[in-house]
Chains A and B, each alone.
Chain A
Amino acid sequence: MMRDPGAVPERVFEDFYARYRLHVLAYCTRRLRGADAADACSEIFLTAWRRRDDLPPTPEALPYLYGIASRVVSNHRRSLRRRVRLNSKLLGLGEAREEDPSTVLVRKERDLQVQAAVRRLPPKDREIVMLYAWEDLPRETIARMMGMSKMAVDQRIHRAYQRLAIVLEPSRAAPTNSASPVIDEGGGS
């Protein structure tokens, strides 16, 4: 940790920002739509700036930012629900779509189905699956971030994937894999 209060000069934080901005924006874009994702990204770095004396060294910087991001995105979701957007949907009313050229979303039908299924997972399982499969974080890092054991992370991923299998192919059985553990080491794809 950088312990010396006020010792992080703007230049250092600018480098920090430039280095991780896209990762954080991607994290937000995977969880919120374009304009909200940009808002959240801005808020995350503002929070990091305010706590700049506590910025961790490089290996832990991204998980640290994702930790802030998790709370910021969660707050955005709550405020989303309170905004007219949800209320229009309560009656299934249509809304003008907002296309944001700064984000590229995969719109293939199958991918949309998978994304929808992932979003319907229980909140903690959903976050773990997203960190693992979309942010491509190792399970050890996810375990540290979530304050749980690596085994618990493994179990949650496995349980979530079982659920996805049922949702995505209801006619088939839950995922089967004779190999155990079922998740490759390293968490990468």
Chain B
Amino acid sequence: MTFDRIDRMVREANPVPDLAALEPVDSSDLLDQWRNNMQVDSNDRKVDNTGGRRDGPVRDMTTRRPPQFRWVAALGAVAVVIVAAAIILPDVTGGILGGDSPVAVAERYMAARSALDAEAAVAELSPDAELADVPYTGDIDDVDQVFAYLAVLDNEVTEYACSASQQDLASEPVAVRCSYRFDTNLSQALDVEPVDGEFAFLVEEGKITNLAHLFNFAEYSPKVFEVFIDWLDENHPGVNDSMWVEAPDFSQVMFNHEEASLEDLERYIAEFEAAQR
């Protein structure tokens, strides 16, 4: 590959190739916002110039939305969907169905997920399945590397129970939900109890066509993952910068799935576990 070709590829991949694409934002509104911000800031500066006294509260002049509000909204939306589904669609247990029923398909996936058996999991997936259990790519081809990653975290989903969310199983796709208990070696090292979560499947013609992993990470993460991230920052500066990458569409920050990083992660987790003892 020639240098010029790479250069052209990189330039063509520019996420914002044209500034005009950003123009839908109403400039006049933004200018008004800035005028207001500048006015407030001017007042603050004047107070500062009088000897550092501030006669009023220090105000944040940015127009930023607090990130946590977005998350509260997102989690709220997920909760509403779950509650609505639970109310509208009565469950039918998987035990009644058995065989190759949608519930049985989901149960087999859960068994594979619990055992981190990628091959068995893929066997239950439609080739074009959309997966939200895996990172952004959500592709059947990513299952291997994701399961390898989850194996390093010793991620267990146990005590799972699946049920169809509709009575009319002839009407495909059939929605199936599987609850479970969730644990990792990180939480064990920190003595954090396993928590409940849920997988939501759509099953069509005996294969999973859509999978979404619903988990209350807002509660779990501060107790476990943030502790680990902070520990990494403290003990291995720079590692977080290389180990996690942004998804190309900017929607997520995620593990980079490089083999070397996987080995590093395993080593760091072992070190982290030892440090917690």
> Is the beta-carbon distance between A13 and B132 smaller than 8 angstroms?
no
Contact A104/B41 with A29-B22, A158-B3 known, Cβ cut-off 8 Å:
no
Contact A92/B62 with A26-B22, A34-B250, A113-B248 known, Cβ cut-off 8 Å:
no
CB distance from B162 to the nearest CB of A (A): 18
Q: Which residues of B contact A134 (CB under 8 A)?
A: 10-11, 14-16
Interface string of A140-157 (1 = CB under 8 A from B): 000000000000000000
Count of chain B residues near A, Cβ 8 A: 86
CB distance from A59 to the nearest CB of B (A): 18
CB distance from A43 to the nearest CB of B (A): 6
> Is the beta-carbon distance between B229 and A81 smaller than 8 angstroms?
yes
Q: Which residues of B contact A106 (CB under 8 A)?
A: 12-15, 17
> Is the beta-carbon distance between B248 and A85 smaller than 8 angstroms?
no
> Is the beta-carbon distance between B184 and A14 smaller than 8 angstroms?
no
> Is the beta-carbon distance between A114 and B10 smaller than 8 angstroms?
yes
Does B277 lie at the interface of the complex (its beta carbon under 8 Å from any beta carbon of A)?
A: no
> Is the beta-carbon distance between A92 and B133 smaller than 8 angstroms?
yes
CB distance from A137 to the nearest CB of B (A): 13
Identify A84's interface contact among B18, B31, B71, B244, CB under 8 A: B71
Q: In residues 79-130 of chain A, which contact B (Cβ within 8 Å)? A: 79-98, 101-107, 110-116, 118-120, 122-123, 129
14 contacting pairs across A/B (C-beta < 8 A): A10-B42, A30-B16, A46-B37, A81-B229, A84-B217, A86-B244, A87-B226, A94-B134, A96-B78, A133-B14, A161-B3, A161-B6, A164-B6, A189-B7
Q: Which residues of A contact B23 (CB under 8 A)?
A: 22
> Is the beta-carbon distance between A49 and B37 smaller than 8 angstroms?
yes
Identify B217's interface contact among A82, A87, A97, CB under 8 A: A87
Does B194 lie at the interface of the complex (its beta carbon under 8 Å from any beta carbon of A)?
A: no
Bound Cα distance from A116 to B253, whole angstroms: 12
Contact A176/B2 with A22-B23, A85-B253, A112-B248 known, Cβ cut-off 8 Å:
yes
Identify A10's interface contact among B30, B38, B74, B225, CB under 8 A: B38
Q: Which residues of A contact B134 (CB under 8 A)?
A: 92, 94
Q: Which residues of A contact B6 (CB under 8 A)?
A: 161, 164-165, 168, 175
The majority secondary structure among interface residues of chain A is helix
Does B96 lie at the interface of the complex (its beta carbon under 8 Å from any beta carbon of A)?
A: no
Count of chain A residues near B, Cβ 8 A: 83
> Is the beta-carbon distance between A123 and B184 smaller than 8 angstroms?
no
> Is the beta-carbon distance between B3 and A182 smaller than 8 angstroms?
yes
Bound Cα distance from A70 to B131, whole angstroms: 34
Does A61 lie at the interface of the complex (its beta carbon under 8 Å from any beta carbon of B)?
A: no
> Is the beta-carbon distance between B149 and A23 smaller than 8 angstroms?
no
> Is the beta-carbon distance between B135 and A42 smaller than 8 angstroms?
no
Q: In residues 37-94 of chain B, which contact A (Cβ within 8 Å)? A: 37-39, 41-42, 61-65, 67, 70-71, 74, 77-78
Bound Cα distance from A92 to B265, whole angstroms: 15
CB distance from A69 to the nearest CB of B (A): 13
Identify B255's interface contact among A17, A29, A90, A158, CB under 8 A: A90
> Is the beta-carbon distance between B253 and A175 smaller than 8 angstroms?
no
Identify B10's interface contact among A80, A91, A129, A174, CB under 8 A: A129
